[in-house]
């Protein structure tokens, strides 16, 4: 995981909205020659997406998260593959609390 950027926006009433852009990089390896690398990558992407969306407030650490995009690594060399997923994580402070 890697934080790409962080932006603060003032809201009416003294609150602030903080948006963090998060990058998750995944790598996979086919263990047998008969394994389909695309299926393995899709399965890992699905597992990550379901885990993130299962708790969109990340156990009350944020207001919500939003999946933005997913890209496969080009020119993969079998049996290895990879992808990158991007998420926006947003939380809003109420008044002066952080």
For the chain, the domains span 2-93
Give the Cα separation of 65 and 95 in Å (integer): 21
**pLDDT tens per residue, range 30-73:** 998 888 888 999 999 999 999 988 887 878 878 888 999 999 98
Q: Tens digits of per-residue pLDDT, 4-31? A: 777 777 777 777 888 889 999 999 999 9
Question: In the 3-class helix/strand/coil scheme, how is the chain assigned residue by residue?
Answer: CEEEEEEEEECCCCCEEEEEEEEEEEEEECCCCCCCHHHHHHHHHHHHHHHHHHCCCCCCCCCEEEEEEEEECCCCCCCEEEEEEEEEEEEEECCCCC
Q: What is the CB neighbour count within 10 angstroms for residue 5?
A: 10
Choose the CATH number for 2-93 among 3.30.2000.10, 3.90.1310.10, 3.40.50.20, 3.40.50.10320: 3.30.2000.10
């Amino acid at each position: 995981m890697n934080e790409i950027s962080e932006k603060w926006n003032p809201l009416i009433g003294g609150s602030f909205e903080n948006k963090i852009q998060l990058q998750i990089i995944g790598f996979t390896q086919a263990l047998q020659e008969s394994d389909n690398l695309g299926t393995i990558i899709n399965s890992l992407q699905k597992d990550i997406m379901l885990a993130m969306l299962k708790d969109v407030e990340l156990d009350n650490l944020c207001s919500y998260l939003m999946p933005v995009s997913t890209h496969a690594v080009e020119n993969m060399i079998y049996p290895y593959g990879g992808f990158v997923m991007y998420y926006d994580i947003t939380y809003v402070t109420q008044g002066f609390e952080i």
